[in-house]
A and B are shown apart, each in its own frame.
Chain A
Amino acid sequence: MITFIIALLNPAFADPPQGPNLGQPATTEEITHWDIGVMPDGEGLPEGKGTAKEGKAIYEKHCVACHGPEGTGGTADPLAGAKMALTSDYPEQTIGTYWPYATTIFDMTRRSMPIIAPGTLTNDEVYAVTAYLLYLNNIIGENDEMNAETLPKVQMPNRDGFINVYEQENKKK
């Protein structure tokens, strides 16, 4: 609806420059190959599975150098082990205290990590290391299996900790 209101108000959109229409059609197979994104509802999650128990070894091989043992004390973002609340003078923003969606861990780990060889973990390994990070934050058990069904259902402690400023401003308009 917002889009259509803008369409009426914005002359650039009402009369945009005409393009030569050079796009090449993308097939479903090509799109699947390209689209590595995972949505909060689980859309885009691949087949595969893993548990924290399996993920520990993967974490210690690929992640510990930057993120520290058990997700804390490294040079990169702390992922676990928060002791101070978000309202304290020294808030600790970890997966357990801050991240609103469990699917984000999978999405980022698969696309961006490990930093020296991104995109090289198998889907099972990504599920396992995701499970390990959730386990380190006391969100799931050590033997809970993470897969395309279970991961989107994980309730993150800070799920309701965010204010959508963009939506608020649009309502004011």
Chain B
Amino acid sequence: MKNDVEIPYSSILQPVAGNGLLDRRLFLKTGLTFSVVTLAASAIPKVFATNANDQAVDSASPPWMHEPGAPFSIYGTPSKYEDDVVRFPAANRDVGGNGVSWTPLHKLEGIITPGGLHFERHHNGVPQIDPAQHKLLIHGLVRNPSFFSIEDLLRYPMQSRICFVECGGNSNAGWNKSPSKSEAGYFHGLVSCSEWTGVPLVTVLNEVGVTAKAKWLITEGADAFAMNISIPIEKAMQDGMLALYQNGERIRPENGYPLRLILPGWEGVLNVKWLRRLKATDKPIMARNETSRYTELQPDGKARMFTFVMEAKSLITSPSANMFLKQPGLYQITGLAWSGRGKIKKVEISADGGKSWAEAELQEPVLSQSFTRFRIPWQWNGKHAILKSRATDETGYVQPERDKLIAERGRHGFFHYNAIVTWQVDEQGVVNHIYDDKDITESTDDISIDAGWD
């Protein structure tokens, strides 16, 4: 495709920041070849690539051009050669349904997370709910307490919006004293982004007639935990959604089928799955998940409570931890940025550990409270490099360096870790997660994140 942007090659091939970062417009030019980003995960064996039964085929005339292909399917699945693009579950060893599974962000592109790869956080498993037997009760400080069936709700006027859902505990291995060795998604992937479609909550709240005294909505799910939590009615009215669809299809069981609450930009735990009850009150219920958990202990012994908004964050997904750069040359650095407070305004990239920064291209669409994909070309010279990304959102909030976040919050808050992520590329091309702040200490007394989930 012809691109009319007038940029002299000589200028775009000049680094715009240290250690090989190039002008973000480079990839807009036509006719410029660059070496393919050839990255292979080392931690997960790639079954098919190493399968002894694989025989070299003549790519000019492969066998699949000489026999009929597979028949139609009623629901498509990914290629069998992509079977390492999977969630990574970690659950309590005594209670298999109490834990999390991470989205493989490092294996995905674009901004939409496929439904089957959306992260999970369940407190006691995934209920298999018959939608004909499921109802939403809205009561408390309302004039007309009412039940709504799923069939009823499907008749309501709906709206769609693309937004991320992020667990308050996402990235919490970052609080640990030694850097996590997991792949990017298995460290930061308790966040996913979908197109959600459903009924604006305000429409239904207006019908039941919420009274002026109501300040909170106590929400409850129909899972085996009967997960409950309080949300300010202000947020519910502003952009709360009774979501029925995710990425065009009905929400999957593990994401809340048949009905979940979506509160754009706010902690995942508030986006209650399997929603069955909303009670309007003048005060919060002080449920376990807004007191004992999802609060953040500070160094002075006080804990932050009702920290609803997920602050701006970014992460380079490629190249990232445990990937491998085959040879020096031109690569595209890409990743995701998001903010619970609005749109991402800019993402800066450094290849020299933060000494110099260059602005990445933000790929359209750039939406409020959504994943935003960023890209920047990088000429890797085969030497040691330290990659970072730093997001700024439209409120002017800048993603903090790790030492600054820890200086402010201590390391026992568990939730709301959003520091800059640092990847080190060594001279062999191996990418590692490191800390390059003053906190680099090999330590055996780290907080156990497995024990952290209940």
Contact = CB atoms under 8 A, between A and B. Distances in A.
Interface stretch (A20-28, A49-57, A141-149): A20-28
B145 A26 contact: yes
Given A23-B152, A26-B146, A162-B305, A17 B203 contact: yes
Contact of A23 (B147, B279, B286, B293): B147
Given A40-B283, A86-B301, A161-B302, A34 B207 contact: no
A112 B305 contact: no
B22 to A, nearest CB: 40
Interface string A62-73: 000110000000
Interface in A14-54: 16-26, 30-31, 34-40
Given A23-B148, A107-B288, A35 B279 contact: yes
Contacts of B149: 22, 24
Interface in A49-95: 65-66, 75-77, 85-87, 90-91, 93, 95
B226 A25 contact: no
Given A37-B279, A76-B454, A13 B238 contact: yes
B156 interface: yes
Contact of A115 (B124, B144, B153, B227): B124
A108 B228 CA distance: 9
Nearest to B308: A166
Interface in B98-157: 98, 123-124, 137-139, 144-149, 152-153, 155-157
Contacts of A65: 94
B234 A3 contact: yes
Contact of A20 (B156, B159, B206): B156
A118 B159 contact: no
A17 B147 contact: no
A19 B156 contact: yes
A112 B95 contact: no
Given A23-B138, A99-B292, A166-B306, 19 more contacts: A3-B215, A12-B200, A17-B157, A22-B148, A23-B148, A23-B207, A24-B149, A39-B281, A40-B283, A40-B286, A75-B92, A91-B297, A91-B301, A98-B303, A104-B291, A112-B226, A161-B302, A161-B303, A165-B307
